[in-house]
A = this chain, B = another copy of it.
């Protein structure tokens, strides 16, 4: 009999896993269930659609259900909600949302790619019709439509993480007066102090009102169901539009109900093969915790790259292969107006919390030869362990080449290079693109003096 592989979730990890499983075992019957209408779209690109950088919403979709079926040989069931897993009998209970009928589907291997859910305030008004979470394509399309049709003048974004940053810029591109409420002193909590300060300045220089230490108390709606005022302990803000970008949590209820083990961040625990604690069930993507290979800690770091890679591994193993995913260093970046902001590895706080004896160094250096066109300052913070001199993490920001330089540092972090080795990297010098001493070398030499 043909091997039956079922995949739950159609955004990033799910289609990766399903496609890979079918490629590894072309005789398998691979079926993907997705509760929504769309699969395989770029959630990360939605701010650029809202901000009018991308004009066609079809560009956001990598695979339609039809294309995934045709090109990858995967059976796709959209508008199908998986409601239960019976790990012992090896089947799942699926509700067809169109027909409102449930049916059981047996599996040989099951892959969970149930993704994440946006955090909420838990306050009345949060379901107002001008309040948006940007977690699905539907929500992105709805926000865009709301802006285009109702021409809001003022917006309040609640939450100063990277989605908040991207949406702040997107709203400014729509000429909307935008206020960003954040619980902390500075935006982008995971980054180093200096980087966060630069992010705040960049926001303010681009007309965003940044309100620190703002805890939201109430969303005050009018009779039409629109939130008109956001009350906080740092003042109240009139608005035509509210965006919640409070971060996400792993969507692991289905797994928990099936007694699959979850970790302390609430995400599904897997081994390197993406196998869960229950035989024949794998998990991948934002529903999982992931091992940070810098400090060997299990963390919750939902990222599309990780989801795709874990999906591949889960799919390959479900189909009989032997793939491993060793973990991440955390490699992320965000555009904040004209600044490239990147983080690789762990933060100084995480490093201290992990028991490292931490030393940091921040420098500014030219991205190119000083007098060449396109030159601007790159700002770099290195985080190292004092004893071993090992590089643990870095922040880079600037207007030119910050993100790609972060990748170079990422390789150094991933492969346990010391600051001495960093200082000895043979990097390119060519006037139009990079200075004699790349900012990476400047920072490594500077930090090296203190080790």
Q: Which residues of A contact B (CB under 8 A)?
A: 42, 44-45, 48, 53-54, 56, 59, 303-305, 308, 326, 328-335, 340, 342, 344, 369-373, 401, 403-408, 410-412, 414-415, 417, 421, 424-434, 436-438, 440
Contacts and interface: CB of A to CB of B under 8 A. Distances in A.
A55 to B, nearest CB: 9
A335 B48 contact: no
Contact of A45 (B308, B328, B331, B431): B431
26 contacts: A42-B369, A42-B436, A44-B429, A45-B369, A45-B431, A48-B372, A53-B372, A56-B371, A326-B424, A333-B428, A333-B430, A333-B433, A333-B434, A340-B432, A340-B433, A342-B428, A404-B405, A404-B407, A404-B434, A406-B428, A407-B408, A407-B440, A408-B411, A411-B412, A411-B415, A415-B415
A325 to B, nearest CB: 8
Contacts of A326: 424
A59 B371 contact: yes
B414 A426 contact: yes
Given A42-B369, A59-B371, A308-B436, A331 B427 contact: yes
Nearest to A434: B403
Which among A417, A428, A431 has the highest number of chain B CB atoms within 10 Å?
Answer: A428
A406 B401 CA distance: 13
Contacts of A431: 42, 44-45, 48
Contact of A305 (B304, B308, B429): B429
What are the 7 closest A-B residue pairs judged by CB atoms, nearest first? A404-B404, A403-B433, A333-B430, A335-B432, A59-B371, A411-B411, A305-B429
Given A44-B431, A411-B412, A412-B411, A426 B335 contact: no
Which among A335, A408, A424 has the highest number of chain B CB atoms within 10 Å?
Answer: A408
A450 B48 CA distance: 37
A437 to B, nearest CB: 8
Given A48-B431, A342-B428, A373-B53, A304 B436 contact: yes
Contacts of A308: 436-437
Contacts of A44: 429-431
A403 B430 contact: yes
A53 to B, nearest CB: 6
B54 A436 contact: no
B425 A411 contact: yes
Contacts of A406: 428
Contacts of A440: 407
Given A45-B369, A411-B411, 14 more contacts: A48-B432, A53-B373, A59-B371, A328-B426, A331-B427, A335-B432, A335-B433, A403-B430, A404-B407, A407-B408, A407-B427, A410-B426, A411-B412, A415-B417
Contact of A426 (B48, B54, B329, B372): B329
Contacts of A370: 59
Contacts of A369: 42, 45
Nearest to A343: B428
